[in-house]
Amino acid sequence: MEGLPQDAGRRPFGLVKRSWRRLYRNTPWYRWHLSSSKPLSLRRYGAVFVPGDQVKGEMIMDGRFVLSGERVDLVEENWYPNDAPEVWLRDMHGFGWLADLRATEHPQSAKAARHMVSSWLNHNKRWHPLSWDGEVTAQRLLAWLGHFEFITHGANAAFVRHLTQEIAIQANHLLLSYQDYELSYARAQIEKALIFCGQCLPDGTTLASDMLGKLEESLDRLIRPDGGTQYRSPAMQAALLTDLHDLLDFHRTMRLQAPAYLSATAQRMAPMMRMLIHNDGSVAHHHQSFALPAEAMASFMERCLHQVAPLRAAFASGMYRLTARRATLLIDGGTQPYPGFDQQAFAGTLSFEMTVGTQKLITNMGSHERRSVWGDVQRATAAHSTLVLNDTNSSELVPGGGMGRRPQTVYCKPYETDDYLGMDLHHDGYRMMGGAKHYRSLKLARDGDYLQGEDLISGPPELPATLRFHLHPQVNVALQGNRQQVVLYLPKGRPWRFDIEGAHLELEDSVYLQGEASARCRQIVARLPEYRPRQAGPRPPAERRVLWSLQQLDAAPRA
C-alpha cells in the first residue's frame, strides 16, 4: 500500500542497529542509563475505564491465572513458568489482570496486587526481550498508572517511591525503544502509554505533547477512510477505539485539553465498529474477533457506541451489512490486510453471517483465545460460510501468522431493488488453479424472511468444490428425505428451510468459538458435482453453479 512503510528491521542496517541495541540493553549500564530520572511522586494518576472480571480475580487470589484463554497455576514466584505459552507470559508481564483482581473488592486484593508488583520489580530489574518488549512494557505502564491508587492503598512511602521511580525508568526505556517499531498497533500502544506517562510524571508535559503528535500520525495511517483499521479485525477495531476513549476520558477527568483529532477519530471509527456487532451484542467472526461478558459488552457499547448507527457499506475495508426488518447479514467482501497487518487475518473472503432478530442462524467458526490449541484451524477458509476449492484456503496461511498468496482482486457491488437488497461479489484467490474464480450473489428480501444465494466457481472441473454454512450451536437441524432441503429450528420463532439446487447436501459436525468458550454445532455442507459446459454467457464456460435459499416457513413461497 502506498504510504505504508516497509519493516526497517528487515534491512541490513536496521538489523545491525537492533542487534547492537539488544546487546547494550542486556548490560548493567543500560539500567544505569534509564535511572537518570528519579521522581519522588506522580503529579496525577491514570484512570481505569475497563471493568475487570470478578471470577478471574478470585482465581488470581488463589494463584490461578487465566490469560488469553490459557490457565497457569503459580505455586511460587516464577515469572517464567516452563509450561506457560508466550501469549500467557506477555499478558502476565503486562499486568492487565490487575483489573480482575481489583474487581473482587476483596479486603486483601490490594495487598495481593502490591505483592505481585513488588515481586516483579525484584525479579525483572534487568532487560529481557519478553518482559521489556515495547508493547508489553506499554501495557504494564498503563496498568500500573491506571491502578496506582489501588496498588498503593495501605503501602508505605518506600514502596510508593520505588514504584514511581520504576515507572519513570520504564518510560525512559519505552521512549528509547520507540524507534524500533514500525507502523502497527503496538506502536500506537507505546504512544498511548508515553502520553499517560508524560501527563503523570513530573516534567513530562513535553513528552505528552510530542507523543500526542506522533499518535495522530499513526492513526492517520492505521485507520482507513471508512473508519476501519488496516487489520480489518473487529478485535483491533475495538482496541483502538477503546484507546481513544481512554485518552479522551483521562483528559476530561484531569481537566486537560484533548487534541481535537482524538474525538474526531473516535467518531469516525464508531459506525464501523457498530457495523460489526450483531443485534444480540456479539461481534462478527470476520478475522480476529473478541467476546466480552454481557455486562462488559454493554459498558463498551454505552461508552464507545452510544446512539451510533452502523455503516451499511465500508468500501475501503470491504465489510458490508444488509438489514431487512429482523434479518441481518454481515459480509466479508474485501481484500486481505497488507503484509505486516495480516498476522491474525482469516481466509474467509466472501463469507457471511446471518442473524434473525437477536438469534444467530448462519455463522463463521469464530476465534478462540487459545491460539496454541486452535492455531490456523480457525483462520482456514473451511471455518467460514463460503466456498472452498480443492480443500485449499483462498488465502495462504503462513505458519506462525501472516499470509502468503491471497486474492489480488475482490469485487463487491451492493445494490437495491423494490423487493431486495443485493450483493454481487467475486474473488480470484484460487487463480493459481487454472484461473479459477469464485462468484457469489446474495439477495435479501425486504421483508427479511427470504435470502437467495448463488455461488459459481469457474476453473478446472476436476477439482472438488464445497460450500459450507456453519450453524450456531442453538440451531437444531433436520435433513429432509430428498437430501436437498434442511429445516433449521431457532430457539424462538418460526423455523427456516434451506433449499439447494446443483449440489448434494450433507450435515457435518462443526465447532463454534467465541473468546474462551467453544461449543459443538452443525454445518450444512454442499458438494458440487462435475460441471456441465455452458454454450454462452459472460463468464468462462468451465463453471459450476449452485442456487440456494433460506426461507422462513409459514411465509408465502417465493418464485
DSSP 268-311: HHHHHHHHTB-TTSPBP-SSS-----HHHHHHHHHHH-TTPPPP
Could you tell me the pLDDT band of residue 28, with boundaries at 50, 70 and 90? low
Residue 278 counted as domain residue: no
Place of cell 543500560: 30
Q: DSSP letter at 108?
A: T
Q: How many CA within 13 A on the CB side of residue 18?
A: 16
Q: DSSP letter at 418?
A: S
Task: Return the pLDDT at 24.
Answer: 60
Q: Is-contact 226 320, C-beta < 8 A? A: no
Three-class SS state of 519 = strand
Q: Is-contact 438 394, C-beta < 8 A? A: yes
Tell me how far apart the alpha carbons of residues 516 and 360 are, in angstroms, rounded to a whole number: 19
Residue 477 sits in a domain of what CATH number? 2.70.98.70
Three-class SS state of 524 = strand
Tell me how far apart the alpha carbons of residues 263 and 361 are, in angstroms, rounded to a whole number: 36
**What b-and-e string marks burial along 356-389, b requiring 16 or more CB atoms within 10 Å of the CB?**
bbebbbbbbbbbbbbbeebebebbbbbbbbbbbb
Q: Which of 34-48, 423-437, 508-522 is the least confident region?
A: 34-48
Tell me how far apart the alpha carbons of residues 9 and 12 are, in angstroms, rounded to a whole number: 8
Residue 18 counted as domain residue: no
Q: Is-contact 540 446, C-beta < 8 A? A: no
Per-residue pLDDT, averaged over 47-75, amounts to 88
pLDDT of residue 4 exceeding 70, the answer is no
Tell me how far apart the alpha carbons of residues 268 and 217 are, in angstroms, rounded to a whole number: 16
DSSP characters over 50-62? S---HHHHHHHHT
Would strands 543-552 and 450-458 be described as parallel, antiparallel, or unpaired? Answer: antiparallel
Q: Which of 22-31, 175-184, 245-254, 348-357 is the least confident region?
A: 22-31
Task: Return the pLDDT at 540.
Answer: 47
CA end-to-end span of the chain, whole Å? 45
Mean pLDDT of the chain: 89
Task: Return the pLDDT at 13.
Answer: 45
Q: What is the 3-state secondary structure (H, E, C) of 355-381?
A: EECCEEEEECCEEECCHHHHCCCCCCH
Task: Return the pLDDT at 32.
Answer: 64
Task: Return the pLDDT at 327.
Answer: 97
Tell me how far apart the alpha carbons of residues 198 and 195 are, in angstroms, rounded to a whole number: 5
Q: Which of 145-154, 377-386, 533-542 is the least confident region?
A: 533-542
Task: Return the pLDDT at 369.
Answer: 83
Tell me how far apart the alpha carbons of residues 243 and 350 are, in angstroms, rounded to a whole number: 30
pLDDT of residue 9 exceeding 80, the answer is no
Which residues are CB-contacts of 456 (< 8 A; sequence separation ≥ 6)? 438, 439, 440, 539, 543, 544, 545, 546
Tell me how far apart the alpha carbons of residues 189 and 134 are, in angstroms, rounded to a whole number: 9
Q: DSSP letter at 178?
A: G
Residue 221 counted as domain residue: no
Could you tell me the pLDDT band of residue 14, with boundaries at 50, 70 and 90? low
Q: Which of 7-16, 196-205, 247-256, 316-325 is the least confident region?
A: 7-16
Residue 151 counted as domain residue: no
Per-residue pLDDT, averaged over 256-284, amounts to 96
Please tell me which residue, 149 or 14, carries the higher pLDDT value.
149
pLDDT of residue 290 exceeding 90, the answer is no
Could you tell me the pLDDT band of residue 19, with boundaries at 50, 70 and 90? low
Run of H or E including 274: helix 260-275
Tell me how far apart the alpha carbons of residues 192 and 142 are, in angstroms, rounded to a whole number: 8
Q: Is-contact 286 364, C-beta < 8 A? A: yes
pLDDT of residue 552 exceeding 70, the answer is yes
Please tell me which residue, 396 or 374, carries the higher pLDDT value.
396
Q: What is the grid cell recorded at 489?
A: 429450528
Task: Return the pLDDT at 532.
Answer: 53
Task: Return the pLDDT at 68.
Answer: 85
Task: Return the pLDDT at 361.
Answer: 97
Task: Return the pLDDT at 402.
Answer: 94
Q: Is-contact 492 472, C-beta < 8 A? A: no
pLDDT of residue 542 exceeding 90, the answer is no
Q: DSSP letter at 223?
A: B
| Number of Cβ within a 10 Å radius of residue 223 | 22
pLDDT of residue 558 exceeding 60, the answer is no
Amino acid at 465: A
Could you tell me the pLDDT band of residue 15, with boundaries at 50, 70 and 90? low
Residue 254 counted as domain residue: no
pLDDT of residue 114 exceeding 90, the answer is yes
Amino acid at 236: M
Instruction: Determine if the pTM surpasses 0.85.
Output: yes
Q: DSSP letter at 229?
A: B
**Helix 260-275 with 234-253: angle, nearest 10 deg:** 150
Could you tell me the pLDDT band of residue 150, with boundaries at 50, 70 and 90? very high
Which residues are CB-contacts of 532 (< 8 A; sequence separation ≥ 6)? none
Q: What percent of the chain has pLDDT over 90?
A: 74
Could you tell me the pLDDT band of residue 3, with boundaries at 50, 70 and 90? very low
| Residue 512 lies in domain | 313-552
Residue 14 counted as domain residue: no
Q: Is-contact 138 101, C-beta < 8 A? A: no
Residue 102 counted as domain residue: no
Residue 338 counted as domain residue: yes
pLDDT of residue 559 exceeding 70, the answer is no
Tally of domains in the chain: 1
pLDDT of residue 533 exceeding 60, the answer is no
Task: Return the pLDDT at 539.
Answer: 45
